[in-house]
């Protein structure tokens, strides 16, 4: 790839950097009373914005430093798919529009049901269905991963970030309360 092509390939990342700069500036407009020993309400947004800017800079550096602007790094899925036959080309990878539609429907279903079922039961169901939809069939691993994943989300959001999660309507709010009570013991 010539230098002009590399510059053109960096344009989307320049937009991301500009958006990050604008969003970072907006965080200074947040007014709050500082509480000793607590993170400010701008901490998590600034962390996310900073990570967004760093990822854009890394991608721009990767484009500039690689020979043809294309990295040879493949995702874990492609690596596993290629493990059987090494002569598979990226153009030969199968497209799965129904899988995409299923993922979109699952995400919309999660967004629609989270206020009724509550965040924790909805997350558990989402993780289980997502793994089955993706074609994974080890049932013990799916269910254990969903339990562990849901508990990790609960710990991060309830104990670290202190976000108020949707509890759900009765009787589903009791599931959230049971998890909150369980986490209070630790």
**Highest mean pLDDT range out of 31-45, 55-69, 102-116?**
102-116
Instruction: Quick: pLDDT tens for 135-147.
Output: 998 999 999 999 9
- In a domain, residue 165? The reply is yes
| pTM attached to this predicted model | 0.58
- In a domain, residue 12? The reply is yes
Tell me if 45 sits within 8 A of 85, measured CB to CB: no
Q: Are residues 68 and 103 in the same domain?
A: no
Tell me if 60 sits within 8 A of 12, measured CB to CB: no
**What is the rounded distance in angstroms from the CA atom of residue 72 to the CA atom of residue 149?**
31
- In a domain, residue 90? The reply is no
**Is it the case that residue 157 has pLDDT exceeding 60?**
yes
**Is it the case that residue 162 has pLDDT exceeding 90?**
no
Q: Which runs of consecutive H residues, i.e. helices, occur in the chain?
A: 3-26, 43-65, 76-82, 97-117, 119-133, 139-154, 173-184
**What is the rounded distance in angstroms from the CA atom of residue 51 to the CA atom of residue 8?**
23
Q: Are residues 7 and 56 in the same domain?
A: yes
Q: Are residues 144 and 66 in the same domain?
A: no
Instruction: Quick: pLDDT tens for 78-130.
Output: 656 665 555 545 555 577 889 999 999 999 999 999 999 999 999 999 999 99
Q: What is the domain extent for residue 105? A: 97-185
Q: Are residues 103 and 174 in the same domain?
A: yes
SS3 89: coil
**Residue 160's pLDDT band (boundaries 50, 70, 90)?**
confident
- In a domain, residue 50? The reply is yes
- In a domain, residue 16? The reply is yes
- In a domain, residue 89? The reply is no
Q: Are residues 176 and 103 in the same domain?
A: yes
Q: Are residues 58 and 109 in the same domain?
A: no
In the numeric block, the tokens 């909805």 are attached to 122
Q: What is the pLDDT of residue 80?
A: 60
The per-residue pLDDT of the chain, averaged, comes to 86
> What is the count of structural domains for the chain?
2
**Among residues 21, 55, 82, which one ends one of the domains?**
82
Q: What is the pLDDT of residue 67?
A: 75
- In a domain, residue 29? The reply is yes
- In a domain, residue 88? The reply is no
Q: What is the pLDDT of residue 85?
A: 54
């Amino acid at each position: 790839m010539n230098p002009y092509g590399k510059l053109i390939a960096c344009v989307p990342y320049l937009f991301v950097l500009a958006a990050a700069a604008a969003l970072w500036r907006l965080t200074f407009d947040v007014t709050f009373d500082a509480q000793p020993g607590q993170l400010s309400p701008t901490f998590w947004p600034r962390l996310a914005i900073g990570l967004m800017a760093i990822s854009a800079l890394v991608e721009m550096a990767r484009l500039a430093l690689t020979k043809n602007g294309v990295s040879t790094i493949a995702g874990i899925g492609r690596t596993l798919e290629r493990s059987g036959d090494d002569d598979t080309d990226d153009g030969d990878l199968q497209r799965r529009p129904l899988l995409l539609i299923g993922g979109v429907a699952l995400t919309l279903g999660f967004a629609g049901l989270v206020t009724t079922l509550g965040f924790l039961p909805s997350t558990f169901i989402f993780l289980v269905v997502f793994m089955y939809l993706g074609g994974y069939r080890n049932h013990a691993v799916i269910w254990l991963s969903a339990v562990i994943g849901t508990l990790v989300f609960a710990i991060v959001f309830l104990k670290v970030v202190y976000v108020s999660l949707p509890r759900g309507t009765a009787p589903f709010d009791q599931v959230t309360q049971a998890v909150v009570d369980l986490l209070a013991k630790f």
